[in-house]
């Protein structure tokens, strides 16, 4: 933890703030691709001290937020089947589908376990051989190796009652589609540190080349963020468009090849539906036929329903960085973290949740009532 404090130290960050100010010589719009970046930037209060001319736009890097309504609906429908027990990451619990949420399914009697790792879900399957345990695979390159390892472990242990509903997504493919949208005007990308630790800084090179974008892989502590933004401003100032790695303590140029091989063993690239962005060719992962015994789509015969996004919700444009949450007619009125309409408001890393929690410095804030905590998930008194 001492290590972490070093990256937040005021004596260290003070000069970095000054350096960032000096490095902005031309106006620039930076997209922070990753939801963890969005949240870290707000938590640090960095937006309140950004140099003039530098604008930050939040990208599609919150895995919960880009999970389509169709996938949510399909998953909620499984929750109601007898003999099925769901295992999910906590963020998904309250995400609304088109007519219900897992929290509602849970209150109707569906069995839903919140797990911290896919391996916990596998142990759940081992302990409950008469139930089908379905893990909702949501996430980007960072979470996929863990899911791949779990499927491999289920395969070796012959735990055929462990299934994965795979909706994993791959970032560079989606960013390519996103950046091809002429509405989106971005000068620079703050590339996600966690994702890059798996896929390597090199994965961003095609984007830098094709779109003439400054790309810097950044970490998540204050000093990391300031360093990343400074490098981006310098590139834009000098008209460069290259990939730099400002997070070398976690990210290499090539990435984690062992993890990549494991993912390759289990998954195959597939077309994937993204909330707000539509279906993007080969931007997702499907389980290979060899491991079909653990593929929920196959074993539970799931077809994705036709669903419409909620009326008035601008999550799509917000995920693309075209709109910001304060432009959405529902933001902070009908749509709040207590009553979320779009997924960007539910996930702790969602852009709307970040704006709601941290981003309204200039507006008077009416204190919203705190909700009672769900007893099943957390009882500490």
Partner 1 sequence: MRAATIQLEHGSGGLASQQLIAELFLRHLDNPLLRDLEDSAVLANQPGRLAFTTDSYVVEPIFFPGGDIGKLAVHGTINDLAMRGAHPHCLSLGLILEEGFPMVDLERVVVSIALACREAAVPVVTGDTKVVPRGKADKIFINTSGIGFIPEGIDISSKNAKDGDVLLVSGSIGDHGITIMTRQAGIALQGNLQSDTMPLHRLVATLLAELPQAVHLLRDPTRGGVATTLNEVAAASGLEVHLREEDLPIRPEVRAACELLGLDPLYLANEGKCLLAVAGDAAERALALLRSRPEGREARIIGRLVAGTPGRVVINTPVGGARIVLPLHGIPLPRIC
Give the one residue of 121, 226, 246, 280 binding partner 1; rule: CB under 8 A. Answer: 226
6: contact with partner 1 by CB under 8 A? no
Among 130, 306, 311, 367, binds partner 1 (CB under 8 A): 367
Residue 22 as a binder of partner 1 (CB under 8 A): the answer is no
Calpha distance 336→24 (Å, rounded)? 35
In the complex, least distance from residue 24 CB atom to partner 1, rounded to whole angstroms = 16
Instruction: Check binding of 140 to partner 1 (CB under 8 A).
Output: yes
Nearer to partner 1, 208 or 332 (CB): 332
For partner 1, which stretch binds (CB under 8 A), given 105-113, 296-304, 307-315, 367-375? 367-375
91 binds partner 1 (CB under 8 A): yes
Cα–Cα distance for residue pair 169/178, rounded to 1 Å? 14
Integer CA distances (angstroms), 229 to 13, 42, 56, 204, 310, in order: 13, 14, 10, 16, 35
From 52, 82, 109, 116, residue interacting with partner 1 (rule: CB under 8 A): 116
Binder among 23, 36, 38, 132 for partner 1 (CB under 8 A): 36
Q: How far is the CB of 1 from partner 1 (least distance, A)?
A: 4
Query: Does the footprint of partner 1 cover residue 87 (CB under 8 A)?
Result: no
Taking a C-beta distance cutoff of 8 angstroms, is the pair 63, 139 a contact? Answer: yes
Nearer Cβ to partner 1 (203/208): 203
337 binds partner 1 (CB under 8 A): yes
* Minimum separation from the CB atom of position 370 to partner 1 (A): 4
Give the one residue of 24, 31, 102, 114 binding partner 1; rule: CB under 8 A. 114
Three-state DSSP class for 266?
helix
Q: Which of 24, 60, 73, 93 binds partner 1 (CB under 8 A)?
A: 93
Q: Please, what is the Cα angle at 263 between 193 and 255, to 5 degrees? A: 35
CA distances from 222 to 43, 154, 279, 346 (A): 10, 40, 35, 25
Question: Which candidate, 64, 79, 50, places its Cα nearest to that of 347?
Answer: 64
Out of 28, 31, 37, 44, the only residue in the binding site for partner 1 (CB under 8 A) is 44
Q: Structure tokens of 130?
A: 């008469």
Taking contact as CB under 8 A, which single stretch among the options 25-33, 126-134, 319-327, 363-371 is the one that binds partner 1?
A: 363-371
Give residues with Cβ within 8 angstroms of 198, minimum separation 6.
141, 142, 144, 145, 255, 256, 259, 260
Cβ neighbourhood burial of 212 (10 Å; 0-12, 13-18, 19+): exposed
> Looking at beta carbons only, is 58 or 208 nearer to partner 1?
58
Instruction: Describe the crossing of helices 118-127 and 144-156 by its angle, rounded to 10 degrees.
Output: 20
**Cβ proximity of 68 and 96 under 8 Å:** no
Nearer to partner 1, 90 or 269 (CB): 90
Residue 150 touches partner 1, criterion: CB under 8 A? no
Give the list of residues 6+ apart from residue 1 with CB closer than 8 angstroms, or none: none
Whole-angstrom Cα Rg for the chain? 21
Query: Which of 17, 152, 202, 293 touches partner 1 (CB under 8 A)?
Result: 17
Q: Please tell me the total number of residues recorded for the chain in this structure.
A: 381
- Give min distance, CB of 142 to partner 1, in A: 5
Binding site for partner 1 (CB under 8 A): 1-2, 4, 8-10, 13-14, 17, 34-36, 42-49, 63-64, 89-91, 93-94, 114, 116, 120, 138-140, 142-143, 194-195, 222, 226, 336-338, 348-349, 356-361, 364-371, 373-375, 377-381
């Amino acid at each position: 933890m001492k290590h972490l404090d070093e990256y937040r130290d005021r004596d260290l960050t003070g000069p970095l703030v000054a350096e960032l100010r000096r490095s902005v010589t031309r106006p620039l719009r930076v997209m922070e691709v990753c939801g963890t970046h969005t949240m870290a930037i707000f938590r640090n209060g960095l937006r309140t001290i950004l140099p003039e001319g530098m604008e930050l736009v939040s990208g599609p890097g919150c895995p919960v937020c880009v999970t389509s309504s169709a996938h949510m609906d399909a998953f909620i429908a499984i929750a109601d089947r007898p003999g099925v027990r769901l295992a999910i990451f906590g963020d998904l619990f309250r995400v609304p589908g088109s007519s219900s949420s897992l929290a509602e399914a849970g209150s109707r009697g569906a069995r839903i376990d919140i797990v911290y790792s896919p391996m916990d879900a596998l142990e759940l399957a081992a302990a409950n051989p008469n139930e089908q345990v379905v893990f909702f695979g949501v996430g980007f390159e960072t979470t996929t190796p863990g899911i791949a390892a779990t499927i491999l472990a289920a395969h070796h242990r012959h735990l055929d009652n462990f299934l994965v509903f795979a909706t994993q997504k791959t970032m560079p493919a989606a960013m390519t589609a996103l950046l091809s949208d002429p509405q989106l005007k971005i000068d620079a990308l703050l590339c996600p540190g966690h994702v890059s630790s798996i896929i390597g800084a090199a994965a961003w090179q095609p984007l830098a080349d094709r779109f003439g974008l400054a790309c810097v892989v950044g970490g998540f502590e204050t000093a990391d963020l300031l360093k990343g933004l400074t490098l981006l401003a310098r590139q834009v100032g000098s008209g460069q468009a290259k990939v730099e790695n400002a997070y070398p303590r976690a990210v290499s140029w090539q990435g984690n090849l062992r993890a990549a091989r494991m993912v390759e063993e289990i998954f195959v690239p597939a077309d994937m539906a993204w909330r707000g962005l539509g279906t993007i060719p080969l931007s997702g992962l499907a389980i290979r036929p060899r491991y079909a015994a653990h593929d929920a789509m196959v074993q539970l015969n799931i077809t994705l329903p036709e669903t419409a996004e909620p009326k008035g919700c601008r999550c799509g444009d917000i995920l693309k960085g075209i709109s910001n949450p304060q432009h959405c007619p529902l933001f902070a009125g009908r749509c709040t973290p207590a009553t979320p309409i779009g997924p960007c408001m539910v996930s702790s890393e969602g852009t709307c949740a970040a704006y709601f929690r941290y981003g309204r410095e200039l507006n008077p804030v009416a204190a919203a009532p705190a909700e009672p905590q769900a007893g099943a998930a957390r009882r500490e008194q």
